[in-house]
């Protein structure tokens, strides 16, 4: 018999993870969502995966649009993570209050001041329980400024570390 999902969530909260934002251009706007399930799955070939809840709008957007971007949030971007995880936020204008620039090789955006950025093109999708694992060929990987730290997710909080 499997563990209770609520217990799994509580125990898993003890695993520190980086906090990222996935962006995808969709239906005339740029959709963005906070994610922590981002993994470099393979170096050669370069493959990056992100696990998205089956009900999330960003998962739906990625069914339509093959290219997407990931911004690895910096230690001072906790408010961005909170905003792009808030339920019921409007689809339109999600990045109006978040400085961003055009991505290099996707139709999405890079969040300004992030610790790193990736542009990807979807090559595989796997349904994994209540999530969809979207696997992308990494088209571009770029580091941010060397002084920028990282935002981590640990025990339900997102402190910054350097
Ligand atoms: C620190 C943090 C990490 C998160 N990681 C994920 C994740 O990996 N996958 C996911 O589907 N949702 C994740 N979420 C929840 C989404 O950000 C949230 O459900 C968001 O509203 C989804 O946007 P959408 O429904 O517009 O796609 C995370 C939230 C936080 C605060």
How far apart CA 60 and CA 31 sit, in angstroms, is: 10
Asked if residue 29 has its Cβ within 6 Å of ligand 1, the reply is: no
Spell out the domains of the chain, with CATH numbers in brackets: 5-155 (2.30.110.10)
* pTM of the entire predicted model: 0.97
What's the pLDDT score for residue 144? 97
44 CB-contact burial (10 Å; exposed 0-12 / middle 13-18 / buried 19+)? exposed
Rounded to 5°, angle at Cα 157 from 155 and 159: 120
What's the pLDDT score for residue 115? 98
What's the pLDDT score for residue 10? 96
How far apart CA 113 and CA 13 sit, in angstroms, is: 26
Asked if residue 85 has its Cβ within 6 Å of ligand 1, the reply is: yes
What's the pLDDT score for residue 138? 98
Which residue minimizes the CA distance to atom 14 of ligand 1? 35
CA-wise closest residue to 31 among 81, 85, 75, 94: 94
Strands 17-18 vs 47-53: parallel, antiparallel or unpaired: unpaired
Segment 19-76, tens digit of pLDDT: 999 999 999 999 999 999 999 999 999 999 999 999 999 999 999 999 999 999 999 9
Segment 112-139, tens digit of pLDDT: 999 999 999 999 999 999 999 999 999 9
Would you call the peptide bond into 57 cis, given omega within 30 degrees of 0 as the criterion? no
As a whole number, mean pLDDT of residues 79-104 equals 96
Residue 154 has phi, psi (to 5 degrees) of -150, 125
């Amino acid at each position: 018999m499997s563990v209770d999902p609520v217990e799994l969530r509580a125990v898993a909260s003890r695993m520190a993870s980086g906090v990222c934002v996935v962006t995808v251009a969709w239906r005339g706007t740029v959709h963005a969502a906070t994610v922590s399930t981002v993994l470099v799955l393979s170096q050669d070939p370069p493959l990056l995966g992100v696990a998205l809840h089956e009900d999330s709008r960003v998962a739906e957007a990625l069914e339509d649009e093959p290219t997407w971007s990931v911004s690895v949030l910096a230690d001072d971007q906790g408010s961005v993570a909170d905003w792009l995880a808030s339920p019921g936020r409007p689809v339109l204008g999600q990045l109006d209050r978040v400085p961003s620039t055009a991505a290099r090789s996707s139709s999405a955006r890079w969040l300004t001041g992030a610790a790193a950025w990736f542009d990807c093109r979807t090559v595989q999708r796997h349904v994994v329980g209540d999530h969809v694992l979207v696997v992308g060929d990494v088209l571009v990987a770029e580091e941010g400024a060397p002084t920028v730290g990282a935002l981590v997710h640990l025990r339900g909080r997102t402190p910054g570390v350097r």
